[in-house]
Amino acid sequence: MPSAEQARFRPVTLADVARSAGVSQATASRVVNGSARSVSPALTQSVLAAAEELGYATNVQAQAVARGTTTTVALLVSDIATDYFSSMAAAVMANAERAGLDVTIAVGERRMEREIELVRALRAQRARAIVMAETGFQTPEGADRLAEELRAYERGGGKVVIVSRTQLPFDHLDLDNVGGARKLGGALARLGYRRFLVLAGDRRLVTMHDRIEGFRSGLAERGIDLPEEAVVACDFSWEGARRAVSELDDAVLERTEAIFALNDEMALGAIAGLRGRGMQVPRDVAVAGFDDIRSLRDVTPGLTTVRIPLAEVGALVVDVVTGRRDAPALVPATVVLRDSTPLLG
Q: What domains appear along the chain, each with residue ranges and CATH number?
A: 4-58 (1.10.260.40), 68-173 (3.40.50.2300), 177-309+329-336 (3.40.50.2300)
d(CA 289, CA 285): 13
Q: Band of the pLDDT at 191, cuts 50, 70, 90?
A: very high
Q: Is 213 left (phi over 0), alpha (psi -120 to 50) or beta?
A: alpha
pLDDT at 65: 43
Q: Is the pLDDT of residue 4 over 60?
A: no
Q: Is the pLDDT of residue 217 over 60?
A: yes
Compute φ and ψ for 190, nearest 5 degrees: -65, -25
Q: Band of the pLDDT at 165, cuts 50, 70, 90?
A: confident
- 96 vs 14, more confident: 96
Q: Band of the pLDDT at 95, cuts 50, 70, 90?
A: very high
Strand runs labelled E in 149-191: 159-163, 171-173
Rounded to the nearest integer, the mean pLDDT of the chain is 86
- 178 vs 64, more confident: 178
Q: Is the pLDDT of residue 208 over 60?
A: yes
Mean pLDDT of 95-117: 87
d(CA 69, CA 303): 44
d(CA 106, CA 110): 12
d(CA 29, CA 34): 8
Q: Band of the pLDDT at 45, cuts 50, 70, 90?
A: confident
Burial letters 289-322, b for 16+ CB under 10 A, else e: bbbbbeebeebebebbbbbbbbeebbbbbbbbbb
Quick one: what percent of the chain has pLDDT higher than 70? 89
Burial letters 80-97, b for 16+ CB under 10 A, else e: eebbbbbbbbebbbebbe
Task: Name which of 5-9, 195-199, 204-208 the model is least confident about.
Answer: 5-9
